[in-house]
Amino acid sequence: MTDKEEFAIILDYLPYGYPMDTGNRSPVAQAIGTTTLILLELVPRRGMTLESKEKVYIGPDKRDKIYYIAGRLPREKLTETAKIQLQEFIQQIVAEQEKKYIDFFNTAQAINTRLHRVELLPGFGKKHTQELLSEREKKPFESFEDMHARLPSLPDPRKAIEKRIIEELVERQRFNLFIK
């Protein structure tokens, strides 16, 4: 079963459509789903204006502000405004769901004999990964602060996760850790 999004956060609202798209001048919103972190292109109802950071209902029932979901937002169409909003949103999500991301550090396994999932995080090489694995064997991590206290040489785990999520959303990756 795939998770269906109920809500999305508006990253950018283009009241006259995309500037380079001469054929279609209808309003469009760039948004991100709050559960699966999927990038979406939304078409607002006639007469509606949307604000950046606004949470809108996109579930199966009657939608008050969104007429329909145009589909997935291709990463190359992401506006600069949307990219900035995306970073702020991801920082907020990682802070709110800290336990989920700490669980990643506590349970991440190797992908194959040469590569560990943790190594895919920006700034985490083989040495940091080995330190982290031996430390988590002693006792699972409880928070980002706990990780930082026990492994001071480690790059900031919160920032590494935020960067990785953004990379997975904006650029194509061989392995995705957080985005389906």
Question: Could you tell me the residue ranges of all domains in the chain?
Answer: 7-74, 97-170
Residues whose CB is less than 8 angstroms from the CB of residue 123 and which lie 6 or more positions away in sequence, other chains included: 155, 160
Fold annotation for 97-170: DNA polymerase; domain 1 (1.10.150)
CA 40/CA 29 separation, integer angstroms? 8
Average pLDDT over residues 149-177: 93
Q: At what angle do helices 98-107 and 157-170 cross, to 10 degrees?
A: 90
Residue 1 binned pLDDT confidence (cut-offs 50, 70, 90): very low
* Per-residue pLDDT at 45: 95
> Out of 3.40.50.620, 3.40.50.300, 2.40.50.140, 2.60.40.1930, which CATH number does the structure's domain 7-74 have?
2.40.50.140
pLDDT tens column, 18-67 = 887 777 788 999 999 998 899 999 999 999 999 999 999 999 999 999 99
Q: Do strands 28-33 and 7-14 pair parallel, antiparallel, or not at all (unpaired)?
A: antiparallel
> Whole-model pTM?
0.88
List the Cα angle 112/115/119 in 5-degree steps.
145
Average pLDDT over residues 73-94: 94
Task: Give the residues across from 14 on adjacent strands.
Answer: 28
